[in-house]
Structure 1
Amino acid sequence: MDFVRTPDKRFERLLDYPFEPHYVQLDNLRMHYVDEGPAEARPILMLHGEPSWSYLYRHMIPVCAAAGHRVIAPDLIGFGKSDKPTSIDDYSYQQHMDWMQSFIDQLKLTDITLVCQDWGSLLGLRLAAENPDRFRAIVVGNGMLPTGDQKAPPAFKIWKNFALYSPWFPIARIIRTGSFRKLGPEEMRAYDAPFPGKKYKAGARAFPRLVPMTPDDPATDANRSAWKVLEQWEKPFLTTFSNGDPITRGGDRYLQERIPGAKNQPHVTLKGGHFLQEDSPVPFARAINDLLATMA
């Protein structure tokens, strides 16, 4: 598997991202993660989606760490400071699951609170369902666990074709388009930092085509099995969807209806687009802290 590693100089002096880098080795690939807060505290695992990286959580990490939580925010393989296989065919749903399983195994994470959005939800919800004894709570914002049995919204089909076929794939502009607020030039630079050239973007281009769209998708059986676990999930399950995401709109109600642990939780609707971590980072972080305060 050929891969590239983004030069460290691309990440120098990024706005609002003072975090020390940490790494785990996944076979021949290196995965980067942020690890803030007390090392002995129960971890909050923040999983980003497409085409972002842990920079997306930069305003949330300090809020949760200041409340006494250990906050771990990895860069998925193909994103951020993590290594990037150069072929789209090197990426599959199951391969990403294997990488994440190895990640939590190597860090020996238990009592995890999952926080996830976008593809972070496709991976995180499966991860929690396949390791239920290691997770104590789940918080989902603008995310879902599709099986291919449901009809995808038109906005997603447009996005999938764009990611696969457009010769122009401007990472930072994509994130700005999916946010209510206008990102500044330094924030735009940070989102583009991991991707200095086309060969660095294979992972970002691959993700949309890996979403199960039909009942015979390679990931469908595993996702259906995960749903069987989630439909028995009694531990706290909180939704924090935004009010302006055309892709996941209505998903919060769907999750609340299917997952027992969502009953009587203080679900919130936050202001923002798809990337609600950009639009409402502090309210998002406070919703996590408030939930965990009730579990102390």
Structure 2
Amino acid sequence: MQILRTPEHRFDGLKDYAFAPHYVEIDDTEGGHLRLHYVDAGPRDAAPVLMLHGEPTWSYLYRHMVPQFAAAGFRAVAPDLIGFGKSDKPAERSNYTYARHVAWMSDWLTRVDLHGITLICQDWGGLIGLRLWAAMPDRFARIVIANTALPTGDQPMNDAFRAWREFSQSVPDFSAGRIVYGGTVSKLTEEEVAAYDAPFPDETYKAGARQFPMLVPDGPDNPEAPANRAAWQVIRTLDTPVLTLFGAEDKVMAGIDRVFQKLCPGATGQPHAVLPAAGHFLQEDVGDDLVRHTLYFIARTG
């Protein structure tokens, strides 16, 4: 497996992202290792808030939320998925599979050894994070589900997702910054757009970002459809408290919050919300609201 590593200077001087780097070596599933980066702020012995990003972002997405959770007394942890941010980037698209992403993050989670987790998961952070919850439920205290899904391929994808997937495979210049810009209501500054592009010096670093949209189980015969069905079987038995916080302007994920509210036992009676003026990347649009809702959720389920 050929591995690319973004030069550190690409991350110099990013506004509001002055976090000390933390790294763990994980199993690449081929007998080698990958270096996975994560932000780790706040007291190390405090209850962790684990924030998982998706496509095509990185822990920069949570730059305004991490300090707030740390200031509230929590251990605020935000990893970069393999292929993104400061984490290593396998060079071939074939290196990236859904199963591998779950295995990579499972290895990281057990090595960092977090317990009592409040999980905040968005986009692919949910497709991966919810699998972790199903596999290791004893590690999780509560789940905040934000603009994400756990698809089994048994229901057709909506037009907005199909349009996104087509765009992701055909656009000549896959600019992460411009994609995030397009998925927000409040819009980004040019400096923020550049920060989302920082992990990718050129197209050779974007194999994971390009491949992610193709890994979503979009039919019952998808190789990961059975694993997601099995995860749902477990999730439907768990009483872990679940809160859904979705963006009102997210067309791709519209209505999926109701699936979680119906199927997750721990979602009953929780203060779910659809947040106005929030797009797909609601951390950018309403990050303060996400923190506020999550802290209230922690307090009422503590």
Question: Could you say which TM-score interval applies, normalised by the shorter chain?
Answer: over 0.9
Q: Could you say what secondary structure the match of 1:215 adopts? A: coil
Give distance in 2, aligned partners of 1:89 and 1:162. Answer: 20
What letter is aligned with 2:18? P
1:66-120 deviations in Å (ceiling 9; x for gaps): 1111111000000000010111100000000110000011011111111000000
What letter is aligned with 1:50? E
Query: Contact (CA 8 Å) 1:63, 1:286: kept in 2 or not?
Result: no
Query: Contact (CA 8 Å) 1:270, 1:284: kept in 2 or not?
Result: no
Answer yes or no: is 1:268 the counterpart of 2:273: yes
Percent of residue pairs bearing the same amino acid type: 53
Q: Could you say what secondary structure the match of 2:141 adopts? A: strand
Answer yes or no: is 1:68 the counterpart of 2:73: yes
Q: CA RMSD in A?
A: 0.9
- Please list, as runs of the form range in 1=range in 2, the aligned pairs for 1:15-26 lying within 5 A after superposition: 15-26=15-26
Which residue of 251, 254, 265 corresponds with 1:246?
251
Give distance in 1, aligned partners of 2:275 and 2:160. Answer: 21
Give distance in 1, aligned partners of 2:271 and 2:183. Answer: 26
**What is the TM-score of this pair, normalised by structure 2?**
0.96
Offset of 1:8 from its aligned partner? 0.5
Which residue of 162, 184, 192 corresponds with 2:167?
162
Give distance in 1, aligned partners of 2:273 and 2:163. Answer: 28
Offset of 1:186 from its aligned partner? 1.2
Which residue of 223, 231, 235 corresponds with 1:226?
231
Answer yes or no: is 1:110 the counterpart of 2:120: no
> Residue 176 of structure 1 aligns with which residue?
181
Query: Contact (CA 8 Å) 1:121, 1:140: kept in 2 or not?
Result: yes
Structure 1: 5+ residue stretches without partners? none
> Residue 295 of structure 2 aligns with which residue?
289
1:240-282 deviations in Å (ceiling 9; x for gaps): 1010000000111111011110001111221311000000000
**What is the TM-score of this pair, normalised by structure 1?**
0.98
Give distance in 2, aligned partners of 1:197 and 1:5. Answer: 12
Q: Could you say what secondary structure the match of 1:280 adopts? A: helix
Give distance in 2, aligned partners of 1:178 and 1:216. Answer: 30
What letter is aligned with 1:226? A
1:105-160 deviations in Å (ceiling 9; x for gaps): 10111111110000000000011011111111000110110000011011111211
- Please list, as runs of the form range in 1=range in 2, the aligned pairs for 1:113-124 lying within 5 A after superposition: 113-124=118-129
Which range moved further: 225-234 or 92-101?
225-234
Query: Contact (CA 8 Å) 1:114, 1:138: kept in 2 or not?
Result: yes
Query: Contact (CA 8 Å) 1:277, 1:284: kept in 2 or not?
Result: yes
Aligned residues: 296
> Residue 198 of structure 1 aligns with which residue?
203
Query: Contact (CA 8 Å) 1:78, 1:202: kept in 2 or not?
Result: yes
1:34-68 deviations in Å (ceiling 9; x for gaps): 00111001111100000000000111111111111
> Residue 95 of structure 2 aligns with which residue?
90
Q: Could you say what secondary structure the match of 1:186 adopts? A: helix
Query: Which aligned runs of 4 or more in structure 1 are off by greater than 4 angstroms?
Result: none
Query: Contact (CA 8 Å) 1:64, 1:286: kept in 2 or not?
Result: no
